C-alpha cells in the first residue's frame, strides 16, 4: 500500500428509493488524519428542516433477500487496495402473514455484504436463519415475541397449553443488531443470550451459540470491546440466587480447537444495581487501557413487569421506563484484578447508547459518549411512527431529544486526602469539571465536544473512531451520523482540535470519500432497495 494512502476508514450510508439517505459507520484500518470512507446510499435529496420531513416508510418495509452477489456500477475511483467485505446487520422483515411487528427493533435480521475488490463492488444479502425466522416462516405468523411485539398463543394448542405458555417467554435469537468477533469468528448478535456464528463469505447461518451454556449470564450486549491481543470484553445481566447483577465478561483471544466458540469465557466482575428490582438498561459500555467503565443510567427495567409481561398481555418494552429523577453513575472496574472502585462518579440523568472512546491521561480517565437528556426516545421508534408522513411525522421528530457528543473527566486518584468542594480536573485539554462531594462520591459535569454548528444537523449518533489505532488512546477525530430526521441523514466528521465539523450529504450510490477533506473519490450504484440497519464490521482480505 502506498505510504500516503495508509490511513483508511470504511463507512456505509444507506437510503431507500423515494426517500432520504441514511448513514452507517464502520472502520477499516486507519490513522489519525488521512482517512477514507466508503458510503452506501440509496436515493433522493437530504431533508434539512424539522417541518415537511420526507417520509421514510421505505426504510422500514420488508425487502427480499439478494442471496447471490450482484454487480454495482462504479464511477470515479474506488482505491484498488481496499479489499474485503463490509458486513452489516439490521431488521429487514416486519410481518409474517397477517401479523406484523410493532417496533423497529423487532424486524427479522437481514445480513448485508458489500465485497470490495480491485476497485469493484458487489452486493448480496440474506436473512439470518434464526429459530425465530424459521418458526415464523413455517407458520406464516409471528409466533416468537420480540422487544416491542408480543406473540399471541398458538391457536393450535389446547386451552391448558395456551394457559401455561403465558407464564413462559423464550428469549429471541433474532440477532439483528451487530456483527461481532470472538476468537476470529464472526457472529451476529442482539442483547439476549443467543448469537449466531455466520460465514462472512456467503452470509450463511452456521451455528446458534448460547452464552448461558458457558457463563452465568442471561444475555450480552452487541457492542463488545477488544484488547490489542484479541481478548474480548463484554457485559451481560444475570438473574439468579444472588439477585440481579451486571456482569463483566472476558473471552480469550484464541480457540483451543476447531469447534471452540465461547469456551474459556469468564465473568470476572459483578456489579450490584442500586435498585435490584429496577436495574438499568444498557446498550454498551466503555473501556480504557486499564478499566472497564459501566454507565448505570436512569433507563430502568421494572423486573416484575418484565417477568409478567406475557401474562399481562404486554410486550417486553412495557417494562422499560425513564426516571429523570435518578442520577447517572459511572462504575470503574480494574481490568487486571476485577476490583470495583469504591469511588463512584455521578452526573445528571443522561441517556447513553454508544460511547466514542475512553482513555487515561495524567491521572484522569477521559470518557467520551453520545448523550441525550431524555431516555424516552426508544418509545418513538414504533413502526407506526416511522411510517407516518406529513405533519404527523414532523410531530414525532419534534418530540425526540437530540443526542450530542460529550466528555466526562473522572479523577483516578481520589483518596481521603482529596479536597472536597473544588474542581479536581487539572487537565488543560478539557473544561469538564469533577468535584468530590463526599468520601466516595465525585460529581462530574461534562464538556461539549462540539460547536454550535452541530445543532443544525440534529446532533450526532452512531459514533466511530479508528478503533484499531486509537481505542483506549488519546485521539483527535471521530465520525458519526447527523440526525435531521428520525434516523441518521448525514455523515459528520468531528475534529476535537477546535471542535470543528465537516459534513457529507450525498445521493444514490456507494460513495468513497477522502475523510480528511470529505471530497468524493468514487461511487458505486447499488441496484436494490435496502432497509435501514444498525451496525457492522469490515472483514479485510488477507
**CB atoms closer than 10 angstroms to residue 415:** 8
- DSSP label of 222: S
Please state the φ and ψ torsions of residue 286, each to the nearest 5 degrees.
-115, 160
Residue 354 marked in a binding site: yes
**Three-state secondary-structure class, residue 272:** coil
The H or E element that residue 514 is part of is: strand 510-514
Task: Return the C-alpha cell found at 190.
Answer: 442482539
Exposure of 181 in the CB half-sphere (CA atoms within 13 A): 16
Please state the φ and ψ torsions of residue 104, each to the nearest 5 degrees.
-55, -35
Cβ atoms 446, 467 nearer than 8 A: no
Residue 112 marked in a binding site: no
Shortest CA distance to 90 belongs to which of 535, 538, 465?
A: 535
**CB atoms closer than 10 angstroms to residue 462:** 25
Shortest CA distance to 345 belongs to which of 285, 426, 435?
A: 435
Task: Return the C-alpha cell found at 422.
Answer: 473544588
DSSP sequence for 294-316: EEE-SEEE-HHHHHTTTTTT--G
Residue 485 marked in a binding site: no
Shortest CA distance to 45 belongs to which of 54, 37, 36?
A: 54
Residue 446 marked in a binding site: no
Feature table: binding site for Fe cation: 223, 283, 354, 535
Feature table: binding site: 223, 283, 354, 535
Amino acid at each position: 500500500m502506498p505510504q500516503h494512502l495508509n490511513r483508511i476508514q470504511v463507512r456505509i450510508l444507506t437510503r431507500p428509493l423515494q426517500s432520504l439517505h441514511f448513514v452507517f459507520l464502520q472502520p477499516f484500518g486507519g490513522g489519525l488524519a488521512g482517512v477514507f470512507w466508503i458510503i452506501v446510499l440509496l436515493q433522493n435529496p437530504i431533508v434539512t428542516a424539522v417541518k415537511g420531513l420526507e417520509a421514510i416508510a421505505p426504510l422500514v418495509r420488508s425487502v427480499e433477500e439478494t442471496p447471490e452477489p450482484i454487480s454495482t456500477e462504479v464511477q470515479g475511483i474506488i482505491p484498488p487496495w481496499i479489499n474485503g467485505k463490509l458486513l452489516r446487520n439490521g431488521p429487514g422483515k416486519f410481518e409474517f402473514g397477517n401479523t406484523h411487528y410493532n417496533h423497529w427493533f423487532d424486524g427479522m435480521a437481514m445480513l448485508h455484504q458489500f465485497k470490495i475488490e480491485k476497485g469493484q463492488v458487489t452486493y448480496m444479502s440474506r436473512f439470518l436463519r434464526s429459530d425465530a425466522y424459521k418458526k415464523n416462516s413455517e407458520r406464516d405468523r409471528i409466533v416468537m415475541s420480540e422487544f416491542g411485539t408480543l406473540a399471541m398463543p398458538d391457536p393450535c394448542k389446547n386451552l391448558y397449553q395456551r394457559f401455561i405458555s403465558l407464564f413462559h417467554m423464550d428469549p429471541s435469537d433474532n440477532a439483528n443488531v451487530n456483527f461481532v468477533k470472538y476468537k476470529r469468528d464472526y457472529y451476529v448478535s442482539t442483547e439476549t443470550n443467543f448469537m449466531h456464528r455466520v460465514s462472512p463469505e456467503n452470509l450463511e447461518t452456521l451455528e446458534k451459540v448460547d452464552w448461558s451454556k458457558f457463563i452465568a449470564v442471561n444475555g450480552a450486549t452487541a457492542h463488545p470491546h477488544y484488547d490489542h491481543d484479541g481478548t474480548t470484553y463484554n457485559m451481560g445481566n444475570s438473574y439468579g440466587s444472588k439477585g440481579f447483577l451486571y456482569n463483566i465478561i472476558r473471552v480469550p483471544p484464541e480457540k483451543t480447537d476447531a469447534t471452540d466458540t465461547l469456551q474459556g469465557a469468564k465473568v470476572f466482575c459483578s456489579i450490584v444495581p442500586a435498585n435490584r428490582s429496577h436495574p438499568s438498561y444498557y446498550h454498551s459500555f466503555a473501556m480504557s487501557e486499564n478499566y472497564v467503565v459501566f454507565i448505570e443510567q436512569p433507563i430502568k427495567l421494572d423486573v416484575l413487569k418484565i417477568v409478567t409481561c406475557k401474562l399481562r398481555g404486554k410486550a417486553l418494552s412495557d417494562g422499560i421506563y425513564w426516571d429523570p429523577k435518578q442520577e447517572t453513575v459511572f462504575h470503574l472496574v480494574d481490568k487486571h484484578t476485577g476490583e470495583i472502585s469504591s469511588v463512584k462518579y455521578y452526573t445528571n440523568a443522561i441517556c447513553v447508547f454508544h460511547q466514542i472512546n475512553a482513555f487515561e491521561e495524567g491521572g484522569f480517565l477521559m470518557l467520551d459518549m453520545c448523550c441525550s437528556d431524555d431516555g424516552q426516545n426508544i418509545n418513538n421508534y414504533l413502526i407506526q411512527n416511522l411510517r407516518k408522513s406529513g405533519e404527523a411525522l414532523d410531530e414525532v421528530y419534534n418530540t425526540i431529544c437530540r443526542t450530542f457528543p460529550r466528555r466526562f473527566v473522572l479523577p483516578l486518584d481520589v483518596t481521603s486526602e482529596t479536597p472536597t468542594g473544588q474542581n479536581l480536573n487539572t487537565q488543560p485539554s478539557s473544561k469538564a469539571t469533577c468535584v468530590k462531594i463526599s468520601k466516595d462520591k465525585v460529581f462530574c459535569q461534562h464538556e461539549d465536544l462540539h460547536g454550535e454548528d452541530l445543532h443544525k444537523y440534529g446532533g450526532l449518533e452512531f459514533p466511530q473512531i479508528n478503533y484499531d489505532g486509537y481505542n483506549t488512546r488519546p485521539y483527535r477525530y471521530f465520525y458519526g451520523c447527523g440526525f435531521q430526521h428520525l434516523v441518521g441523514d448525514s455523515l459528520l466528521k468531528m475534529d476535537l482540535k477546535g471542535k470543528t465539523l465537516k459534513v457529507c450529504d450525498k445521493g444514490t450510490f456507494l460513495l468513497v470519500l477522502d475523510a480528511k477533506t470529505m471530497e468524493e473519490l468514487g461511487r458505486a450504484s447499488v441496484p436494490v432497495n435496502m432497509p435501514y440497519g444498525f451496525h457492522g464490521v469490515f472483514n479485510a482480505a488477507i
